[in-house]
Amino acid sequence: MSQYSHLSEPDPELPGSIPRIGGPGPLTEDMIPAMRQALDVPLSQRLDVYKTRLPSGGGDGPLPVLVYFHGGGWAFGGLDTNDFDLRILSVELRLVIVNVDYRLAPDHRFPTGLSDCYAALKWTVENAEKIGGSTDKGFLVCGASSGANLAAAVTHRSLKDPFFENHKIIRQILQIPALVHPAAFPPEYASELLSYEQNKDAPILSKELMDFLYTTQDPPPLLANHVGLPPSYLQICGLDLLRDEGLLYERLLREQGVLTKLDMCVSISYLVENHWFTEFRYPGVPHGFHAMLPGMRAAKKWEEDLCQGIK
């Protein structure tokens, strides 16, 4: 997908220095506790960011249900990672949201986290009524980064599970998804999967860090059979080393008859002096930018697009 290489040009609003997670020096598993602590944003700081966005809510149920899997490279994150975002989405979109606290690597290696997520999916079906929801009203899964990997994996798995025969997932929402280990890139798509190398030194998520995280987890939804998957919404960042696998996954889904929506590419096209110009939503922004830089215009657009993608 060399035609997308220009999406790696940094957004003008992007700060000049954004730290990458990890380093200096080679990453090792004994560094993970300190990295988890560094990534834990204090509650007071989150309140400063989100207090102007907290909506008022109310109303009667039962409501559609969304099961959410947080990101963090399968090794970081927890219930607090997206707590405010999920509360806002729950009220604004009238959803019951189940926020899943799956066990993390390397303490609990693959497939432990994935098994936890699948168990949470089943728990949601069995307990939706108790928490004010109904899968008959709508049953969605959503995740970001490694959480999107888990969301895609449990959605695939549910297709052939009789347990979900009467509780079908109606939509998967995949934000900046990790979909296949680079060592397993299919040769026939090698010319399309260029961002892993092109954006190897990108801010926030580098190739060095992703290679390290992939040693703890490796479900590859991109390599699965996609027939029968529910409508899928994807959000992808231009300066992300995972960009091209997300773009390829969307295309493969579409080619197998899955209804898809992708936000990164065309927003508005317009003709000026016989030349078509295209605006991109968030081209030159890195993986996870919306969480670290919520004041950017692109971050606000990201949140607006997510709401539309869930609806």
Domain containing residue 59: CATH number: 3.40.50.1820
Retrieve residue 305's tokens: 């697009």
Q: Which residue has the higher pLDDT, 66 or 48?
A: 66
Q: Which amino acid is at 187?
A: P
Residue 28 — very low, low, confident or very high, per pLDDT cuts 50/70/90?
Answer: confident
Percent of the chain whose predicted confidence (pLDDT) is above 70:
76
Number of H helices and number of E strands within the chain? Answer: 10, 8
> Distance (Å, rounded) from C-alpha 290 to C-alpha 281?
13
What is the pLDDT at residue 26?
73
Domain that holds residue 240: 2-310
Give the pLDDT confidence of 111-128 residue by residue, as tens digits.
999 999 999 999 999 999
Q: How confident is the model at residue 38 (pLDDT cuts 50, 70, 90)?
A: low
Q: Which residue has the higher pLDDT, 181 or 6?
A: 181
Average pLDDT over residues 191-214: 92
Total domains in the chain come to: 1
Digit-coded pLDDT (tens) for 56-70: 555 667 999 999 999
pTM: 0.82
Q: Where are the alpha helices (DSSP H) in the chain?
A: 32-39, 43-50, 83-93, 112-127, 146-158, 195-198, 207-214, 243-255, 289-292, 297-310
Q: What is the pLDDT of residue 90?
A: 92
pLDDT band, residue 176 (cuts 50/70/90): very high
Rounded to 5°, angle at Cα 153 from 94 and 113: 90
* Cβ pair 251, 186 in contact under 8 A: no
What is the three-class DSSP state of 211?
helix
CA distance linking residue 292 with residue 285, whole number of Å: 11
pLDDT band at 257 (very low <50, low <70, confident <90, very high): very high
Average pLDDT over residues 4-32: 66
Average pLDDT score, the chain: 84
**pLDDT tens digits, one per residue of 124-170:** 999 999 999 999 999 999 999 999 999 999 999 999 999 999 999 99
Residue 180 or 218, more confident: 180
The per-residue pLDDT for 15 is 65
State yes or no: pLDDT of 46 exceeds 60: no
Categorize the per-residue pLDDT at 297 as very low, low, confident or very high, splitting at 50, 70 and 90.
Answer: confident
Q: Residue 20: which pLDDT band, with cuts at 50, 70 and 90? A: low
pLDDT band for 294, please (50, 70, 90 cuts).
Answer: confident
